[in-house]
């Protein structure tokens, strides 16, 4: 017998149903019995609530169960539909096989609604009662959301079917290694990664030790035939050139993201190797400053090979002439972003060719408008979106000059976004001139294009002003500052921001803010003094759903650890914590954390602590570990004289294995030669410490466990 539930069109229209209640109501409202049956006639071949005699307020009917599993996991709880005439039959797929047994145990009175025998349809409805019963297609969709090593370690030993499905499959794998112990990584590399290089589509390594270990045992070459995206954060310059040379053998690589730890002596060579990657479409680069000041790349001529890169993001300082030269090698470039600092003193003549595809540009600069305009006129012919972030002189706020440039040279421009952060000083005439400038951005030219702006005055080492496009720069990162003298622009943002990163500067900034941040997941607090700290933290819950925060940066002078604990109590899902203060632990007893019941109550896995003048002592490190027992990565500024004692304490904590999560990566600063040698000697002498790696890059000492 086939049970007619929904038509194909109804199934298509129900794809956006995510909750149990929505599913139940949709079932009731759109089932065929509402269309073809009278309200008093029950169809014995139908499993809808009306035909089964179950009212909408009865709990845990068949529809409820399907809706529940749809809400729990859309992938694992899909309905399997089979076509029959005008309507399709349904086989509900459950991700919790014991749903009917559990509910019978809890409430016997509903038993007739759950058991197939009572319904008389034991032969006709098949329930998928376990994960193993899911089809290969659904399993592959689930695997797409998991790391390759999670797939192997979780599913390969379930049964023979899963082992064959995973090991003898062409299904592509993704690997992301960041915080992982040395032993675990060595095992995964040898037994999971290397045997499957031909299946890897994405590889991300975010640890200098992991990168070195990986490249020592596995060359990224022709064996990575399916590799499309490579991300290396923390690679050393001496390895970079060789790596870029071998990458020429990876035929499908179209996305490359690099963060280099130390200064590169020959940036010209590095850029040329990147540009030669014919398949490369996306490049995001951060190179540490040092070495030569300019790339000295000459502009490409017609005979030279060019790059196919379409998206270029440069995260480090870059010289304008070098950027112009790079653009001559990228005729297919569509989007350009320089988000650190663009230094513009152009010596080269105007470019003879600019990619007609270059439509989106995002630039950050501190240069004067004269230099910036010269550079922009080199690349602006086809721009549709221009975003400029400027910190410096207020000449960037010349509305008439912008209007003339846009009308004469940017005829295709659809979106213009500007942010200017300017020092106004204490001179009233200077501030009056500033307001005269920004008032011109309300002229008809700007209003007709619906390019609206707002501004705020705030105090930070004097009076400053920020002028910005409404609803643009605040989408990703919102900087909330304490307003100066309650100066509020008529177009000041005061309702809702979809920013995911929120920075709050000033004690009273939060107290006077009416903006809501419903999507915020990262919060940075830069506060000073101790007069109003409690009200500042208390106001956060009104603005931000603190329970969804995953990262917190706490940069607060002259306050104690109690205020940090108060914030962490309200934000239980934080996994990354950054602290900057000289007085976090001053005057706090060893039993403070225990007395305040915070041990084990947080999920913090990464902690970074910096100080302006004072280095952390062993006792303060011990207190920190009691506060954050789940930490796996520590980045600390410590006292030179106590370095050996601190490292020994942390390693002993790992070795003791008293239900502690081991610390897998540590970094310490400042680093001295004597400090490095003493730590190495201590580890070599103690037989309890094995399988550790140490390195330093002259700024930090790293320890991988």
Identify the pLDDT of residue 497. Answer: 79
d(CA 305, CA 307): 7
pLDDT of 546 higher than 80 = yes
CB under 8 Å to 61, separation ≥6 — which residues?
24, 49, 52, 54, 113
Looking at the predicted structure, is the pLDDT value of residue 279 above 70? yes
| Confidence label for 296 from pLDDT (cuts 50, 70 and 90) | low
Tokens of 136: 């290969």
pTM reported for the whole predicted model: 0.77
Share of the chain above pLDDT 70, in %: 69
Position 569 confidence tier, pLDDT thresholds 50, 70, 90: confident
pLDDT band at 81 (very low <50, low <70, confident <90, very high): very low
Whether residue 616 contacts residue 610, with contact meaning beta carbons closer than 8 Å, is answered with no
Q: What is the mean pLDDT of residues 620-624?
A: 85
Residue with tokens 């300019």: 294
Residue 408: C-alpha distances to residues 381, 401, 403, 450 (Å): 10, 11, 9, 19
pLDDT at 269 over 60: yes
Tell me how far apart the alpha carbons of residues 7 and 41 are, in angstroms, rounded to a whole number: 20
Lowest mean pLDDT among 7-11, 155-159, 327-331: 7-11
Q: What is the pLDDT of residues 623-657, one digit of tens each?
A: 888 888 899 999 988 878 889 999 999 999 888 86
Q: Where are the domains of the chain?
A: 4-133, 137-171
Query: Residue 359 corresponds to which tokens in the numbers above?
Result: 């439509």
Q: Kindly indicate the confidence band of residue 437, based on its pLDDT and cuts at 50, 70 and 90.
A: very high
Dihedral pair phi/psi, residue 454, rounded to 5°: -140, 170
* The pLDDT value given to residue 310: 96
How many Cβ atoms from other residues are within 10 Å of residue 21's Cβ?
11
User: Where does the pLDDT of residue 184 fall: very low under 50, low under 70, confident under 90, or very high at 90 and above?
Assistant: very high
The lowest-confidence range among 202-211, 562-571, 608-617 is 608-617
> 46-60, 228-242, 312-326: which has the minimum mean pLDDT?
46-60
- Kindly report which listed range (396-410, 537-551, 655-669) carries the lowest average pLDDT score: 655-669
pLDDT in tens, 471-480: 665 568 888 8
For residues 460-468, give the mean pLDDT.
81
More confident residue, 95 or 522: 522
The lowest-confidence range among 40-49, 73-82, 391-400, 670-679 is 73-82
């Amino acid at each position: 017998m086939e049970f007619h539930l929904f038509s194909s069109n109804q199934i298509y229209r129900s794809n956006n149903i995510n909750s149990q209640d929505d599913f139940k109501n949709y079932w009731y409202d759109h089932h065929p019995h509402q269309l073809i049956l009278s309200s008093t006639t029950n169809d014995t071949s139908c499993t809808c609530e009306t035909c089964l005699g179950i009212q909408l307020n009865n709990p845990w009917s068949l529809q409820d169960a399907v809706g529940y599993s749809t809400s729990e996991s859309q992938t694992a709880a899909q309905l399997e539909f089979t076509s029959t005439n005008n309507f399709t039959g349904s086989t509900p797929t459950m991700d919790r096989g014991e749903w009917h047994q559990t509910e019978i145990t809890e409430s016997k009175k509903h038993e007739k609604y759950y058991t197939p025998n009572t319904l008389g349809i034991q032969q006709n409805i098949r329930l998928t009662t376990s994960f193993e019963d899911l089809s290969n297609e659904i399993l592959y969709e689930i695997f797409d959301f998991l790391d390759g090593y999670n797939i192997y370690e979780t599913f390969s030993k379930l049964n023979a079917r899963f082992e064959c499905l995973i090991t003898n499959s062409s299904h592509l794998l993704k690997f992301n290694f960041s915080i992982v112990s040395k032993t675990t990584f060595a095992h995964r590399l040898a037994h999971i990664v290397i045997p499957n290089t031909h299946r890897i589509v994405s590889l991300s390594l975010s640890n200098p030790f992991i990168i070195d270990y990986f490249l020592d045992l596995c060359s990224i070459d022709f064996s990575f035939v399916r590799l499309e995206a490579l991300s290396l954060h923390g690679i050393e310059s001496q390895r970079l050139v060789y790596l870029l040379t071998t990458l020429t053998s990876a035929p499908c690589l179209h996305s490359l993201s690099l963060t280099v730890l130390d200064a590169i002596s020959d940036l010209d060579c590095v850029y040329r190797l990147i540009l030669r990657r014919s398949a490369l479409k996306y490049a995001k680069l951060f190179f540490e400053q040092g070495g030569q000041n300019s790339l000295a790349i000459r502009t490409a001529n017609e005979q030279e090979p060019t790059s196919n890169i379409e998206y270029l993001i440069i995260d480090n300082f870059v010289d304008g002439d070098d950027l112009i030269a790079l653009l001559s090698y990228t005729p297919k470039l569509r989007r350009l972003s320089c988000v650190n600092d663009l230094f513009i003193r152009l010596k080269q003549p105007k470019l003879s060719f600019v990619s007609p595809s270059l439509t989106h540009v995002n630039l950050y600069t501190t240069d004067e408008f004269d230099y910036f305009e010269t550079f922009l006129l080199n690349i602006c012919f086809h721009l549709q979106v221009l975003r400029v972030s400027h910190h410096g002189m207020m000449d960037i706020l010349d509305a008439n000059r912008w209007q003339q440039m846009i009308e004469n040279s940017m005829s295709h421009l659809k979106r213009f976004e500007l942010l200017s952060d300017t020092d106004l000083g204490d001179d009233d005439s200077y501030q009056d001139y500033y307001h005269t400038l920004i008032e011109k951005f309300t002229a008809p030219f700007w209003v007709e294009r619906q390019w609206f702006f707002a501004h705020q005055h705030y105090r930070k080492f004097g009076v400053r002003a920020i002028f910005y496009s409404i609803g643009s720069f605040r989408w990703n990162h919102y900087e909330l500052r304490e307003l100066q003298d309650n100066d509020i622009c008529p177009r000041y943002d005061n309702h809702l921001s979809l920013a995911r990163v929120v920075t709050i500067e000033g004690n009273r900034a939060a107290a006077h803010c009416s903006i809501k941040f419903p999507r915020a997941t990262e919060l940075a607090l830069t506060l000073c003094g101790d007069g109003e700290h409690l009200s500042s933290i208390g106001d956060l819950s009104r603005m931000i759903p603190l329970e969804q925060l995953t990262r917190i940066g706490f940069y607060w002078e002259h306050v104690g650890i109690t205020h940090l604990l108060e914030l962490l109590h309200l934000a239980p899902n934080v996994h990354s914590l950054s602290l900057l203060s000289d007085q976090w632990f001053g005057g706090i007893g060893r039993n403070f954390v225990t007395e305040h019941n915070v041990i084990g109550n947080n999920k913090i896995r990464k902690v970074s602590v910096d100080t302006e003048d004072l280095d952390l002592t062993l006792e303060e490190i011990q207190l920190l570990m009691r506060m954050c027992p789940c930490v796996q990565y520590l980045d600390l500024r410590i006292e030179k004289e106590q370095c050996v004692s601190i490292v020994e304490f942390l390693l002993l904590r790992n070795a003791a294995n008293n239900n502690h999560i081991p610390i897998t990566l540590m970094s310490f600063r400042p680093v001295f030669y004597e400090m490095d040698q003493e730590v190495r000697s201590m580890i070599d002498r103690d037989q309890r410490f094995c399988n550790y790696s140490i390195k330093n890059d002259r700024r930090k000492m790293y320890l991988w466990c």
